[in-house]
Amino acid sequence: MWIFRYFIAAVLIIALLGFAIENAHQTVEINIANKSYQHIRLIYIVYMAFCLGLVFWFVISIVQYFRMMKQLSEQRKKNRILTQEITNLRNLPLEEIEEKPEEVSEPGEDSDG
């Protein structure tokens, strides 16, 4: 599976580099927040979009990492508690078995008489 991911990443990087080389001298106009920027090279815009995407991905990955670490910690704590409970149950003394079973009275019957 990792080979497939690396292959896709390599193809995307090669495509991006090819796109950059073909459009190295092309300039564009950008409108951001009612401001107009003219004669900006397209490669800079692509590069900035790539960098912003990396930063966004990095922040999301960090949030997910800490969320998983918190879940892992909670699961380890729960596992410790359950393991201790199992150990305590194993260490309970066995009750002696009586040779004669006790008589069980049926509901509605009064055993006193």
CA distance 107 to 94: 29
Question: How far out from the chain centre does Cα 6 lie?
Answer: 21
CA distance 91 to 113: 42
The residue ranges of every structural domain in the chain are 2-89
3-state percent helix, strand, coil for the chain, nearest multiple of 5: 60, 10, 25
The radius of gyration of the chain from alpha carbons, rounded to an integer in Å, stands at 35
**Average pLDDT score over residue span 15-19:** 83
pLDDT digits (tens, 9 = 90+) for 37-72: 898 888 888 888 888 998 999 999 999 999 999 999
Number of H helices, E strands in the chain: 2, 2
pLDDT bracket for residue 101 (50, 70, 90)? low
Do residues 43 and 24 make contact, with C-beta atoms less than 8 angstroms apart? yes
